[in-house]
């Protein structure tokens, strides 16, 4: 059903409602209107990396891990699996008249905020620090979730518009000050892509203010940019209880009635919270027009019609049996494998079971289910931790010894014991092992959303890049044994990895790999498959000279603007192969022009796997405008493509650099063409000195002239 027809039906239905009934439908927990045959509907559902909070579902790797795959096609498959399971669960629940929270078809995902600061606890919900990568992956997720059928399979929601990335502890009162240039250059592009390319059905506002306006009551964001500039036709939803922040914390309004009026007049259609209980009072006091309430209701019912919730759809017969089916679990396994980023390997990996009799598995995340999941997760019928994955893989071919080593952050494991009470056991296990797999990191209790976490840090944010002290002590204890060590780092954000990089043989960043991720990690450890993920965020040595967390200027942040040398750069990741781009050439400049009069540029790439192990790798293209004073400081990602190469194989592939990549943004926030000569860098990493130092390779450099149409 196209939007025009759905809106016509919505207008007809809403026209039969009283004003009170229309206002009642603007709440996330919209009540039934029995006289019109309208069932209750709860708009709040989550699907960040699988259908969440509504019972059993396939639990895919956390979003930041999926971003490390640099795989648009696979992420679209993941989202399709999610919407299939969402439909199956909706069909089953609604047949039982269960219309509770988390059981609808309006999913408040993806999170396309930019992970600008490694301290942000919710960063692992995002696709990383780069607006181009975030845009491409966000578009893929929305397309997979919403489908291409006669009706929408599920409704996606891009969140949180727009300048939102911590601090969590201040989010209800904080004013993020962003320049017009940073807005257009960094914070808005992913949302624009979701609206214009993927036709995302919903957009959610953030808790904080941006340049003085509460995001969920911002005429600038909702009306001027989202609806007028980008042509968004869907519905806008507040973050949960964000509208009450207007009067309780931001002090922009004085009463709930004023807050409801401000949000409604700005174009916020749906209230996650209770403030729209005052919508009628706002109308009666002359703060809101009847047409404003009506329009919000029409937009919401347009979405429900587009989902086929009144007329039926091709998805109504999806059976419950698809939930956590073999096909979906296979997709989750593939994504978990593609997400693993190998940061260091002195040759110890893959582990050779013909030479190993005893494996020591040590660490607080080695046998942790919580470390598999991230936040906003569903419930799996089976969990496979790293320890279980290793045990299952090796069978009786090797002995597996285990020690938790320490708690995640508490100083002792047993209440009456001394601090570090499991360090001796960890050393004993290491000493009795031929190789150690050391599983460290965080979980959602240490990095996450304010209010959702019981951590010892600042409302889900990190205070620095260090692991908790007990884990640093554990690393030193294991290192003192002199045994070979492979580190599996399970976090959703950048951690200072200097110690493990200097003292251990291999380091793998495995993120939060999903419910059965331990099986996928074991397959990589023992060489059933090569790691092939790339970092979607920069790993830094420390936060010295880093901008304040509350400073939203992009200068000095992320790989595009940083001044110093990264510990591990954005776009970096090793494999068991040895892939190198050997040739690259511009083969086509398109005749078609975009809104800026610019053509797409096609690059033909030849790559060879000079190693003895078949592997995937990610070809990456970066662009640099060296003449414009408005250009970002460093080369920026503008195209990427995952390829597979067997040992010794050469492949040819083509990547398209969109014309928009050749634009810059001036200080007034205007995107424009400024200069015609550009450098393109084509390789399997970004063109920085640290990547060259780590890989011993340089990308191929091309020069291209791009002339805009007059």
Q: What is the pLDDT of residue 456?
A: 45
Q: What is the pLDDT of residue 58?
A: 98
Cis peptide bond upstream of 121, omega within 30:
no
Report, as an integer, the average pLDDT of 671-692.
96
The encoded tokens of residue 83 equal 């919407």
CATH superfamily, domain at 579-705: Immunoglobulins (2.60.40.10)
182 carries an active-site annotation: no
Q: What is the pLDDT of residue 497?
A: 98
Q: Could you report the per-residue pLDDT of 574-599, keeping only the tens digit for each?
A: 999 999 999 999 999 999 999 889 99
Separation between Cα atoms, residue 545 and residue 562, nearest integer Å:
11
Place of tokens 């790797």: 61
Could you name the CATH architecture of 340-537?
Answer: 3-Layer(aba) Sandwich (3.40)
What are the structural domain ranges in the chain? 3-316, 340-537, 579-705
> Which secondary-structure segment (H or E) carries 359?
strand 358-362
Q: Could you report the per-residue pLDDT of 277-288, keeping only the tens digit for each?
A: 999 999 999 999
Q: What is the pLDDT of residue 450?
A: 82
Report, as an integer, the average pLDDT of 511-525.
98
Catalytic option among 71, 80, 182, 239 = 239
Closest by alpha carbon to 201, among 103, 107, 101?
A: 107
Q: Could you report the per-residue pLDDT of 444-458, keeping only the tens digit for each?
A: 999 999 866 544 445
b (16+ CB within 10 A) / e for 558-577: bbbbbeeebbbbbbbbbbbb
Separation between Cα atoms, residue 300 and residue 698, nearest integer Å:
52
> Which secondary-structure segment (H or E) carries 427?
helix 423-431
Q: Phi and psi (nearest 5°) for 33?
A: -120, 90
Contact by Cβ (8 Å): 178, 221: no
Q: Could you report the per-residue pLDDT of 181-206, keeping only the tens digit for each?
A: 999 999 999 999 999 999 999 999 99
Q: What is the pLDDT of residue 459?
A: 73
- The yes-or-no verdict on residue 488 having pLDDT over 90 is yes
Q: Could you report the per-residue pLDDT of 28-50, keeping only the tens digit for each?
A: 999 999 999 999 999 999 999 99
Task: State how far Cα 238 lies from the chain centre.
Answer: 20
What integer best gives the mean pLDDT of the chain? 97
pLDDT band with cut points at 50, 70 and 90 for residue 608: very high
CA atoms within 13 A on the CB side of 564: 14
Q: Please report the sign of the dihedral spanned by the C-alpha atoms of residue 221, residue 225, residue 230, residue 235.
A: positive
pLDDT band with cut points at 50, 70 and 90 for residue 708: confident
Right CATH number for 3-316 from 3.30.1360.170, 3.40.47.10, 3.20.20.300, 2.60.130.10?
A: 3.20.20.300
Q: Could you report the per-residue pLDDT of 86-99, keeping only the tens digit for each?
A: 999 999 999 999 99
Contact by Cβ (8 Å): 561, 627: no
b (16+ CB within 10 A) / e for 462-494: beebebbebbebbbebbbebebbbbbbbbbbbb
Strands (E), 45-145: none
pLDDT band with cut points at 50, 70 and 90 for residue 709: confident
Separation between Cα atoms, residue 542 and residue 466, nearest integer Å:
8
- The yes-or-no verdict on residue 179 having pLDDT over 80 is yes
Q: Using alpha carbons only, give the angle 602, 608, 614 rounded to the nearest 5 degrees.
A: 120
Q: What is the pLDDT of residue 453?
A: 54
Q: What is the pLDDT of residue 178?
A: 98
């Amino acid at each position: 059903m196209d939007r025009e027809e759905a809106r016509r039906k919505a207008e007809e239905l809403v026209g039969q409602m009283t004003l009170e009934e229309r206002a009642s439908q603007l709440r996330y927990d919209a009540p039934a209107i029995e006289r019109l045959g309208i069932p209750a509907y709860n708009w709040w559902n989550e699907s960040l990396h699988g259908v969440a909070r509504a019972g059993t579902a396939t639990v895919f790797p956390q979003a930041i891990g999926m971003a490390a795959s640099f795989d648009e096609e696979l992420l679209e498959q993941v989202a399709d699996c999610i919407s299939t399971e969402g439909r199956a669960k909706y069909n089953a629940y609604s047949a039982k008249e269960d219309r509770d929270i988390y059981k609808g078809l309006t999913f408040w995902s993806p999170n396309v905020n930019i992970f600008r600061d490694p301290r942000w606890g919710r960063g692992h919900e995002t696709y990383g620090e780069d607006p181009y990568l975030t845009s491409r992956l966000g578009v893929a997720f929305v397309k997979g979730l919403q489908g291409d059928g006669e009706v929408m399979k599920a409704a996606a929601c891009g969140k949180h518009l727009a300048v939102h990335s911590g601090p969590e502890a201040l989010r209800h009162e904080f004013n993020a000050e962003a320049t017009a240039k940073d807005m257009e250059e960094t914070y808005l592009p992913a949302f624009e892509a979701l609206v214009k390319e993927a036709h995302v059905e919903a957009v959610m506002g953030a808790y904080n203010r941006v340049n003085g306006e509460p995001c969920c009551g911002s005429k600038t964001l909702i009306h001027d940019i989202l609806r007028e500039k980008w042509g968004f036709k869907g519905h806008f939803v507040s973050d949960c209880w964000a509208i009450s922040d207007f009067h309780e914390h931001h002090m922009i309004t004085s009463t709930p009635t004023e807050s409801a009026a401000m949000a409604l007049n700005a174009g916020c259609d749906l209230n996650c919270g209770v403030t729209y209980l005052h919508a009628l009072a706002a109308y009666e006091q002359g703060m809101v027009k009847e047409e404003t309430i009506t329009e919000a209701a029409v937009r919401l019912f347009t979405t429900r019609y587009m989902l086929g919730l009144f007329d039926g759809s091709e998805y109504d017969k999806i059976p419950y049996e698809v939930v956590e089916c073999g096909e979906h679990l296979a997709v989750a396994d593939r994504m978990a494998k593609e997400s693993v980023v190998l940061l260091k390997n002195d040759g110890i990996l893959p582990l050779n079971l013909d030479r190993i009799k005893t494996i020591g598995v040590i660490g607080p995340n080695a046998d942790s289910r919580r470390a598999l999941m991230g936040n906003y997760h569903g419930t799996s019928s089976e969990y496979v931790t790293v320890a279980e994955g290793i045990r299952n893989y090796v069978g009786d071919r090797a002995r597996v010894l285990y020690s938790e080593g320490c708690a995640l952050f508490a100083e002792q494991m047993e209440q009456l014991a001394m601090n570090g009470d499991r360090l001796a056991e960890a050393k004993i296990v290491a000493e009795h092992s031929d190789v150690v797999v050391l599983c460290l990191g965080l979980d959602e209790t240490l990095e996450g959303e304010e209010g959702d976490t019981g951590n010892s840090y600042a409302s889900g944010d990190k205070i620095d890049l260090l692991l908790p002290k007990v884990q640093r002590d554990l690393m030193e204890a294991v290192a003192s044994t002199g045994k070979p060590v492979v580190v599996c780092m399970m976090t959703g954000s950048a951690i200072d990895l200097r110690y493990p990089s200097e003292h251990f043989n291999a380091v793998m960043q495995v993120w939060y790999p999903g419910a059965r991720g331990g099986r996928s990690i074991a397959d990589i450890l023992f060489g059933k498959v090569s790691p092939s993920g790339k970092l979607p965020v920069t790993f830094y040595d420390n936060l010295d000279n880093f901008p304040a967390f509350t400073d939203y200027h992009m200068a000095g942040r992320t790989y595009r603007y940083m001044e110093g040398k990264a510990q591990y750069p954005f776009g970096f990741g090793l494999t068991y192969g040895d892939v190198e781009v050997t040739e690259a050439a511009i083969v086509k400049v398109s005749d078609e022009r975009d809104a800026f009069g610019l053509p797409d540029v096609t690059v033909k790439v030849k790559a060879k796997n000079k190693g003895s192990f078949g592997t995937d790798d990610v070809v990456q293209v970066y662009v640099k405008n060296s003449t414009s004073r408005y250009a970002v400081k460093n080369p920026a990602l503008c195209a990427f493509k995952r390829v597979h190469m067997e040992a010794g194989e050469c492949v040819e592939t083509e990547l398209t650099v969109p014309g928009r990549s050749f634009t810059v943004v001036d200080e007034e926030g205007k995107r424009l063409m400024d200069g015609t000569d550009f450098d393109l860098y084509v390789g399997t990493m970004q063109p920085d000195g640290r990547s060259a130092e780590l890989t011993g390779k340089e990308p191929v450099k091309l020069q291209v002239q791009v002339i805009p149409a007059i």
